[in-house]
Structure 1
Amino acid sequence: MHSNRTMAGNKFYQILFLVAGLFLLTNCKQQLYKSGSAEFLTVSEEIAPDPFLDDFIQSYKTALEVEMNKIIGETDEAIIKSGPGETALGNLVADFQKEFAEQKLGQVIDISIINNGGLRNNLPKGPITLGNIYELSPFDNYLHILELNAEDVRALASFAVNRRILGIAGMSILAKDGEIIDIKVGNKALVEEKNYTLAVNDYLANGGDGMELLTQLPRLEETNILLRELLIDRIKHKTDLGQKITAKVEGRQKLD
């Protein structure tokens, strides 16, 4: 009996100390109260613009318009992306990507690809402005260089045949009813033991547009060069040489 009374007493004091501790904690801590106010403002054309902010924004807008209206090249006819698979614009961008990588990175590029969906506008007939390129390539897509073996090249060609969303330079494909008949890289048949280089943007390299087949390929270079930057560079280069920007569908992808 003495043992049971002792245990009961201990339990009583444990509860008492716990209650006392909770009392001290709740009465010593700083009390926090909600406060705040809000006002609903209706925004419409009836609200006059703030003169200070309007002047501030207008100065940047004017400077931006001057920059975007700078002419960097010229075409004889519009270069467009129309229809599935090979397009004039897709060919041009893939060519420029290949050419830029070879000249600026010192890489021999066997194949260059671009997703047609990433090209958001056509190039107009006549002057090409800086703004035209920003409209064509508004996304921050960076140039990557990957390595492929012969089997990877065949997988890439099969993707092109079945999805019909790529612009391609350096590789030609002949297919019938979805079946590949012939693939050539640099106008030559595939060499089984050879490794090939691929210029591509980071969006596709990381599996965008269903291109998971690229995600496991070795990365030779991952640059911070934007697609629009390399396009501007190539167009200015051609212009400096006195050349107009031209492109057409050439039969690089014969998919029917």
Structure 2
Amino acid sequence: MEKHKAHLSFLLLLAFFYLSACAPQLHKSSSVAFIPSDASVEVDSSIDSFVRPYREDLQEAMGRVIGETSGEINKSGKGETAIGNLISDLQKEHAEITFGYPIDISAMNNGGIRNTLPAGKITLGNIYELSPFDNYLYVLELDAAKVRQLAEYAVNKKSLGLSGMEITSKEGQLVSYLVNGKMVVEGQTYLLAVNDYMASGGDNLDFLIEAPRKEQTTIVLRDVLIERIKAISAKGEKISAKVEGRQKLD
């Protein structure tokens, strides 16, 4: 039986090379044709029948309700936004629960937030629209100098959601910054929860590249949001967030 299989495999391989050798040579062509795709294009019934069950399962999954907001949580604001506050808060909370130690600061790049949360029911699809990228949870160790750099970056770029940190600027310059309501102490290490994109210097956060990694996980931010929202909802609470004055930027 094994000898027969080997013989058959050899014949199939030989046939492949024969057909390849006899096949006409293809040449690159510069001519193109535009084929419009709209409602007038007829759907192939066989392909549609094959895809339909998967599409229906996906639609059902994405429509599953995992929580409820007390009002719309949007991206309005200069630097600080309601949705940025929510995500950085949930990221901080999840990191503390997962690793079992306090996180001083949690930061989220506003550019990675791709949607808002509507007033009322939150579906799984809402979270996938909000956080479509597979960004992983990291915890970095920052010295006092890098904490200041983070505060200065927040003032200059006005593009971060922050939890655990308060900053104030005047005429575009950093005036003050606090971590958990206290001044930063030289010689002390502060733990920062961020995603791997930011930790790798994304959005010009180059000063984070060399920060020691305390945790490098494969925990996806999207899953963090889903898990935390479900946990809050299980307690009968609604999801809420607002601009609180964490970043007083002029």
TM-score, scaled to structure 1: 0.83
Match for residue 128 of structure 1? 122
Match for residue 20 of structure 1? none
- What does residue range 205-216 of structure 1 map to in structure 2 within 5 Å? 205-216=199-210
Distance change (3 Å), C-alpha of 1:166 and 1:44? closer
Q: What secondary structure sits across from 1:192 in the alignment?
A: coil
Amino acid in the other structure paired with 1:186? N
Shift of 1:36: 4.3
Distance change (3 Å), C-alpha of 1:59 and 1:34? closer
Match for residue 156 of structure 1? 150
Match for residue 203 of structure 1? 197
Distance (Å, rounded) in 2 between the aligned partners of 1:233 and 1:172 = 26
The yes-or-no answer on 1:112 pairing with 2:106 is yes
- What does residue range 22-171 of structure 1 map to in structure 2 within 5 Å? 35-36=24-25, 42=35, 48-171=42-165
8 A contact 2:73–2:240 mirrored in 1: yes
Amino acid in the other structure paired with 2:192? L
Spell out, residue by residue over 1:110-141, the C-alpha distance to the aligned partner (whole angstroms, 9 max, x if none): 00000111110000000000000000000111
Q: Which runs of 5+ in 2 are unaligned?
A: 1-20
Shift of 1:213: 1.1
Amino acid in the other structure paired with 1:141? N
Q: Cα RMSD between the aligned structures?
A: 1.8
Q: What secondary structure sits across from 2:121 in the alignment?
A: strand
Q: What secondary structure sits across from 2:48 in the alignment?
A: helix
Shift of 1:84: 2.3
Runs of 4+ in 1 over 4 A off after TM superposition: 40-47
Amino acid in the other structure paired with 1:159? Y
Distance (Å, rounded) in 2 between the aligned partners of 1:132 and 1:97 = 17
Distance change (3 Å), C-alpha of 1:44 and 1:194? closer
Shift of 1:50: 2.6
The yes-or-no answer on 1:227 pairing with 2:227 is no
1:188 to 182, 185, 188: 182
Distance (Å, rounded) in 1 between the aligned partners of 2:117 and 2:196 = 23
Distance change (3 Å), C-alpha of 1:57 and 1:157? same
Distance change (3 Å), C-alpha of 1:34 and 1:61? closer
Shift of 1:47: 5.0
Match for residue 179 of structure 1? 173
1:248 to 228, 242, 245: 242
Q: How many residues end up aligned between the 2 structures?
A: 224
TM-score, scaled to structure 2: 0.85
Distance (Å, rounded) in 2 between the aligned partners of 1:249 and 1:67 = 31
Distance change (3 Å), C-alpha of 1:185 and 1:120? same
Shift of 1:33: 7.3
Q: Which runs of 5+ in 1 are unaligned?
A: 1-31
Identity among equivalent positions (%) equals 52
